[in-house]
Chains A and B, each alone.
Chain A
């Protein structure tokens, strides 16, 4: 089956620094990837839609200058949390759709736990 990986699986950083999270589709191509954030005991909240070769589309209330998204290839999207603060600590999850299949199934990555101290 289709696999999406994320790296790193967890990261601890100091306040004010930047952190990059990678999302890769391992055995399929994805023109569109999605980034979600999930706080404890809450549902996934869509942050942005990442489109290969073009600018990401951010959801209302998500700061595009703080959460930089780059989708440079059909198998890789990155999310960079700039000038991280403790309130950015969360579980970040990406997902992707297989561009070569007529299916609405999204394949989710395992998530990245970000802790900002």
Chain B
């Protein structure tokens, strides 16, 4: 299983764009990259998933370079409610288990 490395924490302000980068140097050809958000005392919530280039949905964008050894989650115009822990995961194509890394604790200030 590919390991992921993320910054432990990040701070930003309301209305700013936040980019969280994740490294996954050993990603395999069939692996997908998925980001989850977790609030205290809640289960993780799916944000976005991608394989290569760029993926965008109503809450975030995911940028993946050609070598796929890293990915960047972009949150546009964050608000206080975006304060949470964000996990970058590499999911095995066989749909077997996934391992959570340490995550990035994002704090948004007024």
Contact = CB atoms under 8 A, between A and B. Distances in A.
B7 interface: no
Contacts of A44: 44, 87, 100
Nearest to B105: A41
Given A43-B102, A46-B100, A109 B43 contact: yes
A27 B35 CA distance: 23
A106 B100 contact: no
Contacts, number: 53
Contacts of B46: 105-107
Contacts of B44: 44, 93, 95, 108
Interface of A: 4, 6, 32, 34, 36, 43-46, 49, 91, 93, 95, 97, 103-111, 113
Given A93-B44, A104-B32, 7 more contacts: A32-B95, A34-B97, A44-B100, A91-B41, A93-B43, A104-B95, A106-B98
